[in-house]
Amino acid sequence: MAFVAGQPVTAVVQRIEIRKLRHGDNLILGFSIGGGIDQDPAQNPYSEDKTDKGIYVTRVSEGGPAEVAGLQIGDKIMQVNGWDMTMVTHDQARKRLTKKNEDVVRLLVTRKSLQQAIRQSLH
């Protein structure tokens, strides 16, 4: 999943639909993200390519909406509700996920296991 600005990216993605859980005044999704173009990609434990500044899932709360929807730790989020997440700052990513008027977020995520599975299936 190497990522170069301006070059086409190909990835096998999975569509994950997370329904936000309302907790008082807040809508929570139940996972944590890391990464962004303003963050240091070398510290990302989940990325294969340490220059990848994408948004990665660093933690999925047990039993939360994200886990239920099938989001896994280490997933890279490519799109959220149609908005691109491969070239955003950390804050922009967080904002796109936590919009108050949206109940559901549809993510396109990719992970290494998907890619490997495809590769295996092609051979």
Partner 1 sequence: MGSDPKGSDIQGKIDFETRMREGICKLLAASSQRDQVLHVAKNLLTCNARILHYVAELQRHREEHPLPKEPPRLSGTQMKEHSPCSGKVAISDIRIPLMWKDSDHFNNRGKGQRFAVFCLVKIGTQIFDTEMVTVDRTLTDICFENLMIFDDVKPDFELRLEVFSCCMEEGPSIVNTPKRLARKISTSLGRATGKKLTSALESGDLDSILPTNPVAAGVKYHLLAETILKLDDAEASFRTHGLSILGNEESSFWLPLYGNLCCRLVAQPACMTTDMMTGYLNLEQTVGGLANWTRLYCVLRRGYLMVYYTPEEIEAQVDPTLKIAIDKETRIRTMRKCSEMKMYSFSLINPYSGETASRVFSADCKDDLQQWMEAFWQHFGDMSQWKHCCKELMKIEIMSPRKPPLFLTKQATSVYDDMNVESPQKDESLVDIIRNRIQATDGEFLLGQQEGSHPPRWAALFDGSHAMVVQKSTLTPEGRGQPALTLPGRAKKRPAPSPPAGKEPFQQGDSHPERDQKENSWNAPCSSGVEPSEAPPRHRSASQVLGNNAVQVAAKLGLPDKPVPAPRQKRSIRAKFDPRTWIPSQV
By CB under 8 A, what part of segment 87-106 binds partner 1? 87, 89-91, 94, 97-98
Shortest distance, position 101 Cβ to partner 1, whole Å: 13
Shortest distance, position 105 Cβ to partner 1, whole Å: 9
Task: State how far the alpha carbon of 20 is from the alpha carbons of 40, 66, 95, 103, in Å.
Answer: 29, 8, 14, 5
Rule CB under 8 A: say whether 86 interacts with partner 1.
Answer: yes
Position among 54, 76, 102, 114 found at the interface with partner 1 (CB under 8 A): 114
Residue 97 near residue 4, CB atoms below 8 Å: no
* x/- map, 32-61, partner 1, by CB under 8 A: xxxx-xxxxxxxx---xx-x-x----xx-x
Position among 54, 75, 76, 78 found at the interface with partner 1 (CB under 8 A): 78
Sign of the dihedral through C-alpha 48, 80, 92, 98: negative
Shortest distance, position 14 Cβ to partner 1, whole Å: 6
Residue 75 near residue 55, CB atoms below 8 Å: no
Residue 39 near residue 70, CB atoms below 8 Å: no
Residue 75 CA to residue 21 CA, distance in Å, equals 21
Rule CB under 8 A: say whether 109 interacts with partner 1.
Answer: no
Position among 54, 62, 76, 102 found at the interface with partner 1 (CB under 8 A): 62
